[in-house]
Amino acid sequence: METFPTRLSVNVNKIATLRNARGGNSPCPVRAAQHIQAWGADGITVHPRPDARHITYDDVRKLRPVVHTEFNIEGYPSPDFVDLVLEVKPEQVTLVPDPPDVLTSNAGWDTLAESTLLQGVLGRFQAAGIRTSLFMETDEARIRAAADLGADRIELYTEAYAVAHRDGHSLAAQPYATAARLANQVGLGVNAGHDLNLDNLADFVRLVQPLQEVSIGHALISDALYVGLQNAVGQYKEALRPHS
């Protein structure tokens, strides 16, 4: 399967959620990751949380040997998380400002207020050869601050885009397009994720450039219940195909 300028990283958290509902090891996130890569995904994403309600730290360790594309670990930079990332050494770590009790990520970093925390952690990861990304909204000052802190990339938090696109707003992607251009100008790569799906992904990728990667989990795994996991990966890859 082709690799397009915007790459697809599949978040396998929901595979682990289903496994944990019954116990045992079925479905297996490691086996799923192997298939997802074979079917054309450009990377695997996980977001382990302290309560281990889906992906566990042990899952992350087991995934490392089988992820031959690009491994992206997301999470809040608690001491345990930092130690895990430095042990596993993924290709990319995406720092997310979510406290332990949230259901899902719901805000980007305030890189101005959290500069001391972030600068130290970013430096440790970069010294280990791990690309760093910060989960961000579209605020110009905070994006500039992310560059000043030494981050390699930002991941644009796209829930507001998904809601506006669903409601028919024709300019839903405009703030993200502006943010991506600014990030590129200040030396940051751009990823995106959260609530991207087959209804809104192609429009986002067409308008928001440069865009190195999208990370998609819940929507893709949900679609797989209807069309199968292999077909779901293929359909999301097709949505990333550049428009002529």
Active-site residue list: 47, 74, 194
- Retrieve residue 146's tokens: 């992310």
- For 152-203, where are the E strands, in sequence order? 153-157, 189-193
Q: Give φ, ψ of 90 to 5 degrees.
A: -70, 170
Nearest alpha-carbon partner for 70 in 177, 181, 153, 183: 153
How does DSSP assign 182-230, residue by residue? Answer: HHHHTT-EEEEESS--TTTHHHHHHHS-S--EEEE-HHHHHHHHHH-HH
- Retrieve residue 218's tokens: 């819940």
Classify burial at 91, counting beta carbons within 10 Å of its beta carbon; exposed 0-12, middle 13-18, buried 19 or more. Answer: middle
Contact yes or no for 130/100 (Cβ under 8 A): no
Residues 6+ apart with CB under 8 A from 90: 64, 67, 70, 71, 72, 73, 130
